[in-house]
Amino acid sequence: AAENACRVTLGQVNQVRPKLPLLKILQAAGAQGETFTLKEVMHYLGQYIMVRQLYDKRQQHMVYCGGDQLGELLGLESFSVKDPSPVYDMLKRNLTSAAV
Ligand SMILES: C[C@@H](c1ccc(Cl)cc1)n1cnc(-c2ccccc2)c1-c1c(C(=O)NCCN2CCN(C3CCCCC3)CC2)[nH]c2cc(Cl)ccc12
Residue range 43-100, pLDDT digits in tens = 999 999 999 999 999 999 999 999 999 999 999 999 999 999 999 999 999 999 887 5
Look at ligand 1, atom 1, and give the residue with the nearest C-alpha. 81
Write the ipTM.
0.98
Closest residue by Cα to atom 10, ligand 1, is: 81
CA distance 99 to 11: 10
* Centroid of ligand 1 to alpha carbon of 55 (angstroms): 9
Cα–Cα nearest to 23, from 100, 95, 97, 99: 95
Measured from the Cα of 70, ligand 1's closest atom is 44
Burial of 79 (0-12, 13-18, 19+ CB in 10 A): buried
Q: pTM for the whole thing?
A: 0.92
Cα separation of 69 and 12, whole Å?
A: 29
